[in-house]
Structure 1
Amino acid sequence: MPLVSKKSQSHQWLRWFLKVAFYRSRGQQKPLFRLLFASSVFLVLAGTIINYPGSKLLAQKPISQDLEAASFFQQGVMRYNRNDLQGAEYAFRQALQKDSNVSAARNYLGNICLQQNRLDEAVQEYAEAIKVNPNFSEAYYNLGLVLHRQGEKQAAITAYRQSLVINPTNPTTLYNLGLVLYEQGQLQEAIAAYQQAINLDNSNANAYFNLAIALQEQGNIEMAIATYRQALQLNPKNATAYNNMASLLAIHGQPAEAISVYRQAIRQNPKNASVYYNLGVTLYNQGDIKKANGALKRAHNEYRQQGNIEQAEKIEQLMQQIAQKKEQQQPQVNQAATPSQTPESTNKLEQTPVPETQNQLETPSETPASPSDVPVSVEPQSSSTSSGQ
């Protein structure tokens, strides 16, 4: 019998666990998994949690009936807030030795593990948190977060969805769910998740941006353009959004506005070779050969500086072909081209725009302009604050 690594066994168990959790909980509001954890076969994991954006854990009962556990927990919180992660971890583990059911300590330990890139330990902490409190939606969210980072995307989807079964109105869970669904190629479901996230929080520029990308790939050009506009209203410095929107405007028969939007993209990022290339092609298709050559020359120089010699040589060939046609001054107006394409003829430059980038995981500690997957803790309001034991 072939040997299986402990990590592989853990992930196999976790995928089964999440699958059972999700399907057993549909239509239920009662605590989940009580029967699952009654078995002595259950894999005991060392546990934690991370809280998601805007979540507040209200004081329902004391953090622990054990005064020593409560004291160690408070010490851990203070050290964590001072970025003394080693001291905080020691204090939280001391609290758990006194009382293994302090869910808030599990939460902070998970934060520490994730910040230190101890991802397998973080997974274990979240699983232990779920064992203590099967209705802990934040624990499922955080489990999804770390699984997503590990590349366990299907398991992450299941964890995010389980979090939404318990708390369906958290926009960040929906946002991250949309992101991983998009990465899995499930465009329609990703679009639905982003739209729900926006309905709950219409101030998230990244949600609009990622929704626009998904709509663009789906072929819904008009809706994608409108959504890029909304993203840029919230974040007018997003050069990629300008570039993507301009490409869509060009193929949608709005070249004049496309040229203007490409120039806005350049103002935000003067080193973006693909924007210069797209601008040059659009200008060429509009018959402005002189300005087209200027933009293509800048694209050529930027690609060379980036070390992309292959693309620079393609642009050289294109410029030579345009020069041969310059006397005719009769370019056929069509659509802009992406940096990765070489036109079949200089009379017809076509584009199938591909979104440049997709935003990464968002958590409450970061602004939408620079999302990351660093966890955030919700501090207890007093020594009697509960974290959802």
Structure 2
Amino acid sequence: MRLIQILFCSLFLFSNCSSSEETWLKEAKTRLQKGELQPALDATNKALSKNPGFAEAHNLKGVILFQQKNTAEAEQSYLKALEIKPSYYAANLNMVDIQMGKNDWKTALKYAQASVKIAPDSSEAYLKRGIILAALGDVQAGINDFTKTTTLNPNNIDAWYNRGNIYFQQKNYPNALQDFEKCIQINPKFGKAFYAMGLSYFYSNSKEKACLSLKQAQDLDYPGAQQAWHQICED
């Protein structure tokens, strides 16, 4: 009977230890949602003191450090999470942001490729890979990823805008206009899309529509819209 009691107590203590690290992680997430970065970091460190191999806590620590603009330590936290769990989607995607911030596009692509492989239904992974591919000069592959993003998430305004921007650079103004119009359907206050539409209409020889779009961008205080309106529309 005493052996059973000892085993029971051991299991109980192990359960308490496990819940403790989860409790601290939950506390960290709550603090982070409130914008309380240092208390969130403290709670994350307490979770890691309970379990140094807690990949989710390492990743969350990276998120907090990144928001504190401590990107070097944030990167180390993400790498630690991936050392523990290489297939950790969130940590891979966070590493994409770190490398993009350093303009290290090739390393960013490596983590973006991993993110897509781990979560093939993630619109965010395709979006980021599309941005990287376009930056690396593989424009068509970038378009394909932006298209995939909009298929998975039709309201992903960044994908519509980025694809429209590529079409604009290619002087494919009809397709660019369709994508910028979609942006405005999603967010009628997206001044950058109105500005891009204005330029697209101008280069499509539709001056009246160009001026209307630029006026809307100007009303939304988009930088450069007022100057463009004066250059194109005042005569």
> Taking structure 2 as the reference length, what is the TM-score of the superposition?
0.82
Higher percent of residues as helix: 2
CA contact (8 A) 2:160 2:180 kept: yes
Distance 1:87-1:276 versus aligned 2 partners, 3 A rule: closer
* C-alpha distance in 1 between matches for 2:214 and 2:69: 39
Larger Rg: 1
2:88 aligned residue (120, 131, 136): 136
| Structure 1 counterpart SS, 2:154 | coil
CA RMSD of aligned residues (A): 2.3
* C-alpha distance in 1 between matches for 2:59 and 2:204: 49
Distance 1:275-1:99 versus aligned 2 partners, 3 A rule: closer
Match of 1:226 in 2: 178
Listed as ranges, the gaps of 5+ residues in structure 2 are: 1-13
2:159 aligned residue (180, 183, 207): 207
Match of 2:5 in 1: none
Distance 1:281-1:100 versus aligned 2 partners, 3 A rule: closer
* C-alpha distance in 2 between matches for 1:157 and 1:232: 29
Match of 1:250 in 2: 202
* C-alpha distance in 2 between matches for 1:145 and 1:278: 32
- For 1:279, give the aligned amino acid: W
Shift of 1:103: 1.9
1:123 aligns with 2:75: yes
* C-alpha distance in 2 between matches for 1:146 and 1:191: 23
Encode CA deviations 1:60-96: one digit per residue, 9 max, x unaligned.
xxxxx56325303312421441344434434433433
1:156 aligns with 2:108: yes
Shift of 1:212: 0.8
CA contact (8 A) 2:28 2:44 kept: no
Match of 1:72 in 2: 21
* Mapping of residues 361-372 of structure 1, within 5 Å: none
* C-alpha distance in 2 between matches for 1:92 and 1:275: 45
Shift of 1:141: 0.9
Match of 1:296 in 2: none
> 204-213 or 91-100: which moved more?
91-100
* C-alpha distance in 2 between matches for 1:89 and 1:280: 50
CA contact (8 A) 1:79 1:87 kept: yes
Shift of 1:201: 0.5
Name the % identity: 22
* Mapping of residues 92-131 of structure 1, within 5 Å: 92-131=44-83
* C-alpha distance in 2 between matches for 1:118 and 1:70: 29
* C-alpha distance in 1 between matches for 2:216 and 2:169: 23
| Structure 1 counterpart SS, 2:121 | coil
2:31 aligned residue (36, 61, 82): 82
Encode CA deviations 1:90-135: one digit per residue, 9 max, x unaligned.
4433433443322221222112211112212222222221222222
Shift of 1:211: 1.5
Aligned length: 219
Match of 1:279 in 2: 229
Shift of 1:265: 2.0
* C-alpha distance in 2 between matches for 1:94 and 1:236: 44
| Structure 2 counterpart SS, 1:82 | helix
Distance 1:89-1:69 versus aligned 2 partners, 3 A rule: farther
Distance 1:243-1:93 versus aligned 2 partners, 3 A rule: closer
* C-alpha distance in 1 between matches for 2:106 and 2:119: 20
* C-alpha distance in 1 between matches for 2:31 and 2:111: 31
* C-alpha distance in 2 between matches for 1:147 and 1:124: 12
CA contact (8 A) 1:240 1:265 kept: yes
Higher relative contact order (CA closer than 8 Å, sequence separation 6+)? 1
CA contact (8 A) 2:21 2:51 kept: no
Distance 1:259-1:97 versus aligned 2 partners, 3 A rule: closer
- For 2:109, give the aligned amino acid: I
CA contact (8 A) 2:173 2:203 kept: no
* Mapping of residues 274-313 of structure 1, within 5 Å: 274-283=224-233, 291-292=234-235
* C-alpha distance in 2 between matches for 1:142 and 1:268: 32
Distance 1:96-1:268 versus aligned 2 partners, 3 A rule: closer
> 94-103 or 104-113: which moved more?
94-103
* C-alpha distance in 1 between matches for 2:220 and 2:38: 41
- For 2:225, give the aligned amino acid: V
* C-alpha distance in 1 between matches for 2:15 and 2:80: 20
1:216 aligns with 2:165: no
